Amino acid sequence: MIEGGSLRPGDRLPAERELAVQIGVSRPTVRAGLRALAAMGVVQSRHGSGTYIPSGPPTLGSQPLSFLAALHGFSTEEMYEARRILEVGAAGLSAERATPEHIASMADEVAGLFSALNDPHEFLVHDIKFHQAVAAASGNPIVASLVEMVSELYYERRRQTADRATDRNLRDAAEMHQRVYQAIRLRDPKAARKAMNDHLIHSSAYQAREAAETPAPAATNRSARSGTDERPARRRYRRRRTT
């Protein structure tokens, strides 16, 4: 039905009983299929209303990639290499295609970065949202979906070590994000690609040094040791993602 074009973004799916008759399978089979589609982000269940095709830009859930990362142990270097492949090109496209609304969204996240220099977890939320905003401004929904999926995985990994970031590193990162934003706002694709590439290379190198210099953690709760709690920032990220 979706592939045939009879269901479009925002449409409500028929009830389970009707779907079972149309497709020729049992209702438990339909229910299991809908759960699988929901996990992939293809459909969205609304309590008391039914199941819908999500409207707005397409999204890809990060769960399959998270499982692969757990099984195969993706390295930080591999994560940043994938990000450069996706995001450098996205920055160039954004400089050509960003709307005033996209520019405003990026500006908000850059301002958030500078306001969160004393809070690494809040800084990380704005970091992720900035990169997703750049990808959305590329005008390519495939690129935007892939960047969102990879950035979610990056967020889940980085939030565990965000407290290691130094004040100098956070300020450097904020300034590099600002350079990406400025290049996009000035409609300079070459400068935007260079600024994004420089930023990701710098961040990858910093986290590699950070890992080498950080002793293995003791078997205690990290948040308790640091006196911080990343959960509020994580909730803010999840809440913003669903808006």
* Residues 189-221: tens digit of each pLDDT: 999 999 999 999 999 999 888 877 766 555 444
Same domain assignment for residues 49 and 76 = no
Same domain assignment for residues 220 and 114 = yes
Same domain assignment for residues 109 and 160 = yes
Same domain assignment for residues 46 and 78 = no
DSSP per position, 57-89: S----SHHHHHHHHHHT--HHHHHHHHHHHHHH
Question: The CATH number of the domain where 137 resides is what?
Answer: 1.20.120.530
> Whose CA is closest to 198, among 172, 166, 163, 161?
172
Same domain assignment for residues 40 and 92 = no
Residue 194 CB coordination number (10 Å): 17
Contacts of residue 39, Cβ cutoff 8 Å, sequence gap at least 6 = 61, 63
Residue 84 structure tokens: 């450069």
Examine the pLDDT at 4 and tell me if it is beyond 70. no
Q: Which residues pair with 50 in a beta bridge?
A: 46
Quote the domain boundaries for residue 151: 63-241
Same domain assignment for residues 171 and 196 = yes
End-to-end CA distance of the chain: give it in Å, rounded: 27
Same domain assignment for residues 133 and 184 = yes
Q: Which of 30-34, 74-78, 133-137, 202-206 has the highest mean pLDDT?
A: 133-137
Mean pLDDT, residues 86-109: 98
pLDDT tier for residue 10 given thresholds of 50, 70 and 90: confident
Question: The CATH number of the domain where 4 resides is what?
Answer: 1.10.10.10
Same domain assignment for residues 14 and 100 = no
